[in-house]
Amino acid sequence: MKYQIAPLFCRPWTLNGISARLIESHYENNYGGALNRLNALTEELEALDPSTTPAHVLGRLKREESAALNSTLLHELYFASLGGDGRAVPEVMAAALVRDFGSVGRWRQEFIALATGLADDSGWALLTYVPRDGRLINQNATDHRQSIAGGIPILALDMYEHAYHLDFGANATAYIAAFMRNIEWNAVQGRYEDAVKVEPPRQLVQKQFADVPAISVEEVTAMLAAGTPVQIIDARPRHYTTKAQDIMEGAVWRDPERVDEWIGELSKTEPVVTFCVYGFHIGCETAITLRKAGFDARYTAGGHFAWKAIKGPVKLLR
C-alpha cells in the first residue's frame, strides 16, 4: 500500500510574517521527505519475510516506519493549523480550552512555553484530545514517535529548525509568535468537533449486574473527604481474606455468605458501599441483597484493587 501525499492545506500567501518560500520548502522537502521515506520503508517491510528477518532488523524498520508515519501525519496537521487569525478563537473551541485549561490565555501561555522549551532541541508542540477522558491536553514531543496512545492531535506546531530557520534564523520566539498569529482556529475547531465524536475505549460491562448501582473509588474518596456518613463493607470471600493482608481504612469485613447474621448492624439512613476483590461478583451480589432489604447500597467498581491502585488508605487486616 502506498501512502498518498496530501495537498497543502493553508494558503501560503495569506500568512502573516511567515513566507511562502519557507512553507514551500517545508512542504516539499520535509513533509515530502517523510512521506517518501514512509513509502520506501513500507515497501521494504512488505518485501521481507518476518519469519527469517532478524528481530533487530525488523525492530529498526518498524521504529523508522512509525517515525516517518508520525512525521507525515504531524506535518499535515501543522499545515492545517495555519492560515487564520490566531486571535479569533471560535466559541466551541474557546469553551473547550476554558474547560480544560482554565482560560484561553492560560492555554496559550502553556502551549507557548512548551514550544519555547523545544527551541534548543527539536520536536512538536501539540494540542491533543484524549477520548478516554474527554479532554484536551498540551503535549511536547521531542521526536516524531511520542504521540499519546489513543489521543487525537488537533493543533501542531513544528519546532524542528527546518520549520523556521529560513525566515527567523535562530529566533524561535519570533517564529512561535508568528505561528500563534496565524492559527486557523476554525479548522482546529472542526477537528475538535470530529474528535469529540470518537468513543472512549470500551469499559468493562457487567451485563448481569447492569441494574445494580456502582460507585467509583474516586467517588468513595470524595464522600469520605466530604465527611459524608457511609457504611463501608468489605465483602471479600472468607477464603480470600485468610490470605489477604490489608483492608480499606474505614471498612469492616463481613462474610458475604452470612449477610443475615450482620445485616442487622447496618443503618438504613446511611448509604452502604460494598467492596470485593475486583468488583466482579461478590460485592455486586452483596449490594443486591442489601438493596432488596431496603438499604441504599452500591458496589465499588474495581473493588479492593482499584482502591489500592489509587493509593486509597489501607490498614492491616488483622
Question: Closer CB to Fe ion, residue 71 or residue 286?
Answer: 71
Q: Which three cell numbers stand for residue 172?
A: 524561535
| Closest CB 145 distance from Fe ion, rounded Å | 15
In the list 76, 77, 147, 158, the residue contacting Fe ion (rule: CB under 5 A) is 158
Residue 25 sits in the site that holds Fe ion (CB under 5 A): no
Residue 163 sits in the site that holds Fe ion (CB under 5 A): yes
| Closest CB 120 distance from Fe ion, rounded Å | 17
Contacts of 276 (CB under 8 A, 6+ apart): 235, 236, 237, 256, 282, 283, 284, 286, 299, 300, 303, 304
| Closest CB 66 distance from Fe ion, rounded Å | 17
**Is 45 within 8 Å of 65 (Cβ atoms)?**
yes
DSSP assignment, residue 256?
G
DSSP assignment, residue 5?
P
Helix (H, G, I), strand (E, B) or coil at 184: coil
| Residue range at the interface with Fe ion (CB under 5 A); choices 135-143, 159-167, 248-256, 285-293 | 159-167
Question: Closer CB to Fe ion, residue 144 or residue 191?
Answer: 144
| Residue range at the interface with Fe ion (CB under 5 A); choices 43-51, 154-162, 253-261, 267-275 | 154-162
Residue pointed to by grid coordinates 471498612: 251
Applying CB under 5 A, the site for Fe ion has a residue count of 4
Residue 76 sits in the site that holds Fe ion (CB under 5 A): no
| Residue range at the interface with Fe ion (CB under 5 A); choices 6-14, 43-51, 109-117, 152-160 | 152-160
- In sign, the C-alpha dihedral spanning 67, 68, 69, 75 is positive
| Residue range at the interface with Fe ion (CB under 5 A); choices 86-94, 111-119, 132-140, 162-170 | 162-170
The one-letter amino acid at 17 = G
Q: In the range 27-56, which residues lie near Fe ion by CB under 5 A?
A: 30
- Determine the Cα–Cα distance for residues 134 and 4; give it in Å rounded to an integer: 31
User: In terms of DSSP bridges, do strands 314-316 and 297-300 run parallel, antiparallel, or are they unpaired?
Assistant: unpaired
Phi, psi of 154 (to 5 degrees): -120, -10
Question: Closer CB to Fe ion, residue 31 or residue 295?
Answer: 31
- Determine the Cα–Cα distance for residues 37 and 42; give it in Å rounded to an integer: 8
| Closest CB 79 distance from Fe ion, rounded Å | 9
Question: Residue 279: exposed, middle, or buried by beta-carbon count in 10 A (0-12, 13-18, 19+)?
Answer: buried
Question: Closer CB to Fe ion, residue 8 or residue 235?
Answer: 8
Helix (H, G, I), strand (E, B) or coil at 210: coil
Question: Closer CB to Fe ion, residue 74 or residue 220?
Answer: 74
Question: Closer CB to Fe ion, residue 84 or residue 123?
Answer: 123
Residues lying near Fe ion in the complex (CB under 5 A): 30, 158, 160, 163
